[in-house]
Amino acid sequence: MGKYHGNATTVLKPKTTQEVSDIVKWCHEKRIGIVPQGGNTGLVGGSVPVQDEVIISLANMSQVRSFDPISGILIADAGCILQSLTDYIAPHHHVMPIDLGAKGSCQIGGNVATNAGGLRLLRYGSLHGSVLGLEVVLPDGTILDQLTSLRKDNTGYDLKQLFIGAEGTLGIITGVSILTPPSPQASNNVIFALPHFDNVLPLYQSVKRQLSEILSAFEFIDRTAYDLAVKHGQGRALSDEDVEGAQCFVLVETSGGRREHDEEKLTTLLETLLEADKPLINTGVLAQSPAQFSSLWALREGVTEAVSKEGKAYKYDISVPLSTFKECVDVTREHLRSKGLMREDAVKHVVGYGHVGDGNLHLNVVADTYSSEIQDALEPFIYELVASHRGSVSAEHGIGAMKTHALHYSKSAVSITWMKKIKELFDPRGIMNPGKVLE
């Protein structure tokens, strides 16, 4: 399951919705396949041609159309980069309801198309909730203008929801209307070192109870992921003494109304945890400065890069019950060991990290090289493991081209049949992102 490589002869970069519509109309008439492309940061090959489709890049549609600092409603071209939108609304004291390590390149249109989750979903929910409206060019070139900025609009079927997470297979998103929350007056974070994984769940319970409304992220990093992040220069959050005996780590972020109030809550939490008869944590380090706040996040966000620097990654972005996070990593490692594949010239590491609050584990197998032997050992093993927990084979990254064969592990035959009926209704000529999501 390596990085996907397609080859397109043509990349078009329209500047307006009308240009997108004109191009799509032409492709529709000529029955030419299209791949909508945002920032190209997707991890399942969704933005890459599978044959010789025309790539329609939204990069040149990067204007903010409007922002209302009272309601926080932002209407932007789909090609706006997430970081640019974050920077645009910050002076108006608002934040984007989504944050992910790819923010410097990914576009809001791609975020919506993949229904990206990310680091803030725990606090601000899914894009299915924060997206208020969409402008979409349908596979025959029709412009579907649902770019409403209404918080409430119960008039007929909510069509926009179909395009959120459709990965460009039902139409090209050209405009996004999204509700942005007010920026927190104070953000803080703390990293905890835990002696073993079993403490993560009770820690999550007490953190939720003690921080309640100011909790904005609760991220898990196992020891291997942590060591790889440090090895590859993604920050050094804790001293060697602090990490002594730690089996995993948790990064907690708070976003609240008053710094003093939030810091008091965090300090009380840390004291309570450390003074407990059986402490859940070995230690905790509270960020003392904006620089330290950023370096704690850099460590967590840098795991992806560290994994890809360490070797060839087989990435499994899965939803499984929180209690099974460590088991899934350990069982996979043991399975590979039983095949004689846990060795330096085959599989070097099996790591786990992810979004605890979303039940989303990023299980990454780091190999020396890609090989069919490793691939065959991993699939369908991991998909069956996920299905045994009634989980999802793709929590937030989508299906793209790389996981179409695995869709049935998480969706019933009836569901897939009706997905295909919807695809047939919107794209009877099959020109919109062919080979993605549905086989």
CB of 10 to ligand FAD, least distance (A): 15
- Beta strands 143-146 and 131-137, pairing class: antiparallel
Pick from ligand FAD, ligand S2G, none: which does 122 bind, CB < 5 to 8 A by kind? none
Two structure tokens written together for 11? 């990349």
Looking at beta carbons only, is 180 or 433 nearer to ligand FAD?
433
- Residues 385-414 interacting with ligand S2G (rule: CB under 6 A): none
Rounded distance between C-alpha atoms, residue 156 and residue 371, angstroms: 50
From 22-30, 37-45, 263-271, 363-371, span contacting ligand FAD (CB under 6 A): 37-45
> What is the per-residue binding string for ligand FAD in 265-294, x denoting contact by CB under 6 A?
------------------------------
Rounded distance between C-alpha atoms, residue 112 and residue 104, angstroms: 16
Give the binding-site size for ligand FAD (rule: CB under 6 A): 36
> What is the per-residue binding string for ligand S2G in 32-71, x denoting contact by CB under 6 A?
-----------x----------------------------
Q: Does the footprint of ligand FAD cover residue 116 (CB under 6 A)? A: yes
Rounded distance between C-alpha atoms, residue 45 and residue 72, angstroms: 33
Q: Does the footprint of ligand FAD cover residue 173 (CB under 6 A)? A: yes
Q: Does the footprint of ligand S2G cover residue 168 (CB under 6 A)? A: no
* Residue whose tokens read 């993560």: 200
- Residues 87-106 interacting with ligand S2G (rule: CB under 6 A): 101
Pick from ligand FAD, ligand S2G, none: which does 315 bind, CB < 5 to 8 A by kind? ligand S2G
Fill in the amino acid letter for 248. C
- Nearest Cα to Cα of residue 268 among 193, 311, 318, 212: 212
Rounded distance between C-alpha atoms, residue 253 and residue 266, angstroms: 10
When binding is defined by CB under 6 A, the residue of 41, 189, 255, 332 that contacts ligand FAD is 41
- Give the residue closest to ligand FAD by C-beta: 110
* DSSP secondary structure letters along 228-271: HHHHTTS---S-HHHHTT--EEEEEEEEES-HHHHHHHHHHHHH
Q: Does the footprint of ligand FAD cover residue 433 (CB under 6 A)? A: yes
Rounded distance between C-alpha atoms, residue 327 and residue 334, angstroms: 10
Fill in the amino acid letter for 52. D
Q: What Å distances lie between residue 254 and 125, 257, 292, CA to CA?
A: 15, 10, 14
Looking at beta carbons only, is 94 or 355 nearer to ligand FAD?
355
- Nearest Cα to Cα of residue 393 among 439, 353, 360, 422: 360
Q: Does the footprint of ligand FAD cover residue 101 (CB under 6 A)? A: yes
When binding is defined by CB under 6 A, the residue of 223, 312, 362, 423 that contacts ligand S2G is 362
- Nearest Cα to Cα of residue 406 among 420, 393, 423: 393
Q: Does the footprint of ligand FAD cover residue 58 (CB under 6 A)? A: yes
Q: Does the footprint of ligand FAD cover residue 223 (CB under 6 A)? A: no
Q: Does the footprint of ligand S2G cover residue 304 (CB under 6 A)? A: yes
Pick from ligand S2G, ligand FAD, none: which does 138 bind, CB < 5 to 8 A by kind? none
- Residues 333-372 interacting with ligand FAD (rule: CB under 6 A): none
Q: Does the footprint of ligand FAD cover residue 107 (CB under 6 A)? A: yes
- Nearest Cα to Cα of residue 365 among 403, 390, 331, 322: 331
Pick from ligand FAD, ligand S2G, none: which does 190 bind, CB < 5 to 8 A by kind? none
Rounded distance between C-alpha atoms, residue 420 and residue 19, angstroms: 28
- The residues near 197 (Cβ < 8 Å, ≥ 6 apart) are 222, 247, 248, 325, 326
- Beta strands 64-68 and 73-77, pairing class: antiparallel
Q: Does the footprint of ligand FAD cover residue 111 (CB under 6 A)? A: yes
Query: Which residues make up the interface to ligand S2G (CB under 6 A)?
Result: 43, 101, 303-304, 315, 317, 362
Using CB under 6 A, list all residues that contact ligand FAD.
35-43, 46-47, 58, 78, 100-102, 106-107, 109-111, 113-114, 116-118, 167-168, 172-173, 304, 396-397, 400, 433, 436
